[in-house]
């Protein structure tokens, strides 16, 4: 795999994503970074996110069919898409090897990976619904 040249902008993006569990969109990354990097463009943010996703440094999540979200945690884990507010949350669980093995057993296709997306309510929305009852 070819290595990328150091970029202050790329490093700022990865620093912003690291440790976050809210899986921001490219626009959210841009809005945050332009406080510290006023000359950064949305195109630069997209270009860097695309490079890092292609190299496996971050995950690109296609969760709602419209907007990509980004995750610096590349360890196998599932996600939950909140059907009320649209938030994307991590669900850390051990599932990858079992699902890949099961799929490989029943499918003639070569299975290389798995992505699990649950739908439901995030903790905040679930609490609001509980309060309404």
Q: How far apart are CA 73 and CA 79, in angstroms?
A: 11
Q: Is the pLDDT reported for residue 64 higher than 80?
A: no
| CATH number for region 1-74 | 1.10.10.10
Q: What is the pLDDT of residue 59?
A: 95
Rounded mean pLDDT, 88-107: 87
- Tell me how far apart the alpha carbons of residues 133 and 130 are, in angstroms, rounded to a whole number: 5
**What integer pLDDT is reported at residue 17 of this predicted model?**
97
> Does this chain's domain 1-74 share its CATH topology with 76-133?
no
End-to-end alpha carbon distance in the chain: 54
Q: How far is residue 45's CA from residue 49's CA, in Å, rounded to a whole number?
A: 6
Residue 100: per-residue pLDDT: 86
Averaged confidence pLDDT in the chain? 89
Task: Locate 132 and state its tokens.
Answer: 């309404």
Binding-site residues from annotation for Zn(2+): 82, 85, 122, 125
What does pTM read for this prediction?
0.81
SS3 label, residue 54: helix
pLDDT in tens, 2-48: 556 668 999 999 999 998 889 999 999 999 999 999 999 999 999 99
pLDDT at 113: 82
Where exactly are the structural domains of the chain? 1-74, 76-133
Topology annotation, domain 76-133: Dna Ligase; domain 1 (3.30.1490)
- Point out the annotated binding site: 82, 85, 122, 125
**Strand segments (E) across the chain:** 59-62, 68-71, 78-82, 88-91, 117-120
pLDDT of 84: 94
Q: What does the pLDDT read at residue 1?
A: 45
- DSSP SS3 for 79: strand
């Amino acid at each position: 795999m070819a290595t990328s040249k150091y970029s202050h902008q790329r490093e700022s993006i990865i620093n912003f994503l690291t440790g976050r569990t809210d899986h921001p969109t490219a626009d959210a990354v841009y809005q945050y970074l332009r406080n510290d990097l006023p000359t950064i463009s949305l195109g630069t943010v997209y270009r860097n996110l695309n490079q890092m996703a292609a190299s496996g440094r971050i995950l690109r999540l296609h969760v709602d069919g419209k907007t990509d979200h980004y995750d610096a945690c590349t360890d196998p884990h599932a996600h939950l898409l909140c059907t009320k507010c649209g938030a994307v949350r991590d669900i850390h669980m051990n599932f990858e090897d079992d699902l890949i093995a099961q799929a490989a057993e029943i499918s003639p296709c070569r299975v290389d990976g798995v992505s699990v997306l649950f739908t439901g309510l995030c903790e905040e929305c679930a609490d609001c619904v509980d309060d309404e009852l």
